[in-house]
Structure 1
Amino acid sequence: MAELKQQRGTIQNIRIWDERPLLKTYQQIQSIRLYYDFNNVDVDRYVLGGQYRQLMLAARELVVRQLPAQANTWVNRHLTYTHGYGLAASPVNEVTREGLPRLFIKDLPPVCEAGLQKIVRPEIYYGEMTDQYVLVKTTSKEFDFPKGDKNVYSVYQGRGGVPINSFIRRLLYAVEFRDPQIFFTNYLTSESRIMYNRRIKRRVKAIAPFLSYDQDPYMVLSNGRLYWILDAYTTSNMYPYSTRSHSPFDRGILNYIRNAVKVTIDAYNGDVRFYRLDEKDPIAGVYNRIFPALFKSFDDMPEDLKHHIRYPKDFFQIQATTYTRYHMEDVQVFYNQEDLWQLPDEMYGDSRQKMKPYYIIIKLPEGEKEEFLLMLPFTPSKKDNMIGWLAARSDLPEYGSLIVYKLPKEKLVYGPMQIEARVDQQTEISRELSLWDQKGSRVIRGNLLAIPVLDAFVYVEPIYLEAKQEDSTAPTTGETPTGGLQKFKSKLSSGSSGADPSRAASLPELKRVIVAFGNQVAMEHNLDLALSRVLGKGRAIEKADVPAATRFLETSDLGKMALQYYNQAKENLRRGDWAGYGERLKKLEEVLKEIAGKSDVRQ
């Protein structure tokens, strides 16, 4: 028990939400209107209430091409619908009773909870999906956000964009964008400005095309404002005696890469700042001498933004792939490739894929506190057992340090695919997943994470269930998200959120969490129960050591679930569905057994 208490920060930050199901969930419960959208979900960390917490965030951008046809006018596209608004954010490990993420930032205007700072500038004029020019400070007010049956409008107050207050500028921009409306419109004033190059990757490439840019910019909330952080690299394919690698940036070949620059973009003003992270990189040094006003020292980056820099996945993937060969230090062993490693496979959904690097908060074996890391395990070539793992540190002052842990070859440590096989061999788990994955429902097996805990590995795999859209209204024989989701769909239909109710049918719900530790495998309704089962009663996690939201299935909740199964069984009996009747009775029996044994699990 004492050992687990020392790992509290690791346990409470185990991720049970995957980016892909969570993105779909955000799009359905937080898009609010058809013209809002989320491009992707990013992982970052914040200090909330004195605790180091891992959050998942997504920017709510406005996509004008999603406007209804009758509203797709020139004025709406370029003067009225000019910006996105706010973001959605949730912790990586908290779930509501309906199987949905607990939102720390939600709705319009944004509501912030759990100690997150208020967003004073939620407008997003520059983002990942903003691909049209807009005119601001015109006589036409800009749409801000919907409020009930009405809309809230505003006027841009920043310095973003370029003044367009003269005859010649209007003419030149009309020619540049091949849009005569810019020249002839009566909406412009002496204060009007035109914003373009608003897609952030296109914007930074226009400023510094000689750098390579990461594929995943991410949004940060800092001092009430929204910023994008984007990693930039110096690269070459002509470094002498260096192994070549495929570039993830331009489909080319490289044999030299440094994460030399961090780029920040203000989502409201579009201000771009290039900070030199690697002062020793010679290529960045040359660029700095050519463009002395372009680069700033990393010391000049605002302190709060420094706490949100993270080791980039693209860079780490190249390093990890290269290390599978170059970890061998003996010349003869290297020459014969006797100890070649590989990146492991995992199951996602129903397909096998290469495991990708993932961010975690853990306390390293030699560390004094929890850290935000990027990690990836290794397996021997053509084998599935784990042989080592690589971690990249993201927190200052240790940012950029790589740590490799080599596991003893004489001891078997299960790798990801071996854990997946052991899960499939569990009769109860396999039967339940097969039962759900029937017509009308689809089981999504999330990313399998290997978490170092107690000098061993805890494997965690979330299980999601979503209704198939093509048969979303038909009853299913498996356990479908009826109770909480039906209430949620009713709220959508009533217009409380403004989202499209037709999209709610495919809303993924977190239904179970699979945990493997040593020779134990368990699937439970939440992470707390699964950990308690695999770690054993003597080492179960105390209630105080687990986040409150992961303990949502108390006895009263199980009672509600039992009543739900009972009512469903009666309905199946009324319809003459004997197979469904038997299945519901079996589910009812399982819940009643869990209620009976719950006091033992909690001891």
Structure 2
Amino acid sequence: FYGGQDFWRVPLDPSSFGSNSGNQPPYYLTMQIPGQSKPTFSLYTPFVPRGGRENLTALAVVNSDAGDEYGKITVLQLPRSTNVAGPSQVSSNFEAKPEVATSLSLLRQGGSDVVLGNLLTLPVGNGLLYVQPVYVRATGNTAAYPLLQKVLVSFGDQIGFSETLQGALDQVFGGNSGTTVANNQSNTPANGGVGSSQAIRSAIASLQSAYADLEAAQKRLDGAAEDKARARVKAAIAALISAQNR
């Protein structure tokens, strides 16, 4: 109490800088939190301690699915003995990786602006997975549409950076997204079962296909196809989380 750890605040938005910076807004996402039997459409926001520290202390999740539990608030509080990086710290870790810094610097040249997408915090297994898309938009053209170029992923001390979500996940999990959270260097599926590994591989393949279709729709400026692809991406993420929690 006296250290201020029992007082929380919403973290700063790592996707905005300078005069445009503000608190990170809450996000709607289909996700499965510990204790749930299936993914639900939810509104969630992370919290960090008051007083300037940026480590993650809790997640608040509001069930937004129509039904008996609509509006139910669940707070996932991290143990004080843990020191899990919050959104701002994860964003700094991204920029501190030489490969990421060099690539972003190149993308910012040649008449292009780098637009950082929403940094999502996803409970996966017994840990937290951060995912952030990186878009590029032509400067000097107010009608230019941001195009997805890279995807950043963070899990524990591992950082993935690739053109696709699958590629970034493979970098983080050593080519196998069934890695257990308790040991980030282990490539053993959580239950050691073949079915679980197959479900994870299938979900990753679905994500890759959905992202490819999303990029193609964005290049064609096909709004209807883009909406369908985004829905497939959300469904594939939910399937991946569900497979990892089996």
Alignment of 1:280-429 (within 5 A): 333=1, 339-351=6-18, 352-381=21-50, 382-395=52-65, 396-429=67-100
Tell me the amino acid that sits aligned with residue 509 of structure 1. L
Between the aligned partners of 1:424 and 1:402, the Cα distance in structure 2 is: 33
Gap change, CA 1:387 and 1:338, over 3 Å in 2: closer
Q: Give the deviation of 1:550 after TM superposition.
A: 2.0
The aligned counterpart of 1:442 is 113
Between the aligned partners of 1:338 and 1:549, the Cα distance in structure 2 is: 37
Q: Deviations over 1:114-143 (max 9, x none)?
A: xxxxxxxxxxxxxxxxxxxxxxxxxxxxxx
Q: Give the deviation of 1:338 after TM superposition.
A: 6.2
Tell me the amino acid that sits aligned with residue 53 of structure 2. K
> What number of residue pairs does the alignment pair up?
188
Gap change, CA 1:389 and 1:468, over 3 Å in 2: same
Between the aligned partners of 2:17 and 2:39, the Cα distance in structure 1 is: 34
Between the aligned partners of 1:347 and 1:422, the Cα distance in structure 2 is: 11
Gap change, CA 1:337 and 1:419, over 3 Å in 2: closer
Q: Give the deviation of 1:551 after TM superposition.
A: 3.8
Q: Does 1:513 align with 2:138?
A: no
Gap change, CA 1:346 and 1:553, over 3 Å in 2: closer
**Out of 126, 131, 134, which is 1:460 matched to?**
131
Q: Does 1:528 align with 2:166?
A: yes
Structure 2 residues without counterparts, runs of 5 or longer: 179-196, 213-246
Q: Give the deviation of 1:538 after TM superposition.
A: 4.1
Between the aligned partners of 2:37 and 2:201, the Cα distance in structure 1 is: 24
User: Contact 2:94–2:159 at 8 Å: present in 1 too?
Assistant: yes
3-state SS, counterpart of residue 354 of structure 1: coil
Gap change, CA 1:365 and 1:384, over 3 Å in 2: same
RMSD: 2.4
Q: Give the deviation of 1:345 after TM superposition.
A: 1.2
**Out of 541, 544, 548, which is 2:206 matched to?**
548
3-state SS, counterpart of residue 383 of structure 1: coil
Q: Give the deviation of 1:547 after TM superposition.
A: 5.2
Tell me the amino acid that sits aligned with residue 545 of structure 1. A
The aligned counterpart of 1:245 is none
How high is the TM-score relative to the length of structure 2?
0.70
Q: Give the deviation of 1:424 after TM superposition.
A: 0.9
Between the aligned partners of 1:526 and 1:455, the Cα distance in structure 2 is: 24
User: Contact 2:41–2:63 at 8 Å: present in 1 too?
Assistant: yes
3-state SS, counterpart of residue 405 of structure 1: strand
Tell me the amino acid that sits aligned with residue 156 of structure 2. G
Give 1 or 2 for the bigger CA radius of gyration.
1
Structure 1 residues without counterparts, runs of 5 or longer: 1-332, 471-501, 555-603
Q: Deviations over 1:200-257 (max 9, x none)?
A: xxxxxxxxxxxxxxxxxxxxxxxxxxxxxxxxxxxxxxxxxxxxxxxxxxxxxxxxxx
The aligned counterpart of 1:63 is none
Tell me the amino acid that sits aligned with residue 405 of structure 1. L
The aligned counterpart of 1:473 is none
Tell me the amino acid that sits aligned with residue 544 of structure 1. S
How high is the TM-score relative to the length of structure 1?
0.30
Gap change, CA 1:391 and 1:439, over 3 Å in 2: same
Identity of aligned residues (%): 30
User: Contact 2:55–2:89 at 8 Å: present in 1 too?
Assistant: yes
Q: Give the deviation of 1:537 after TM superposition.
A: 2.6
Alignment of 1:16-415 (within 5 A): 333=1, 339-351=6-18, 352-381=21-50, 382-395=52-65, 396-415=67-86
User: Contact 2:131–2:151 at 8 Å: present in 1 too?
Assistant: yes
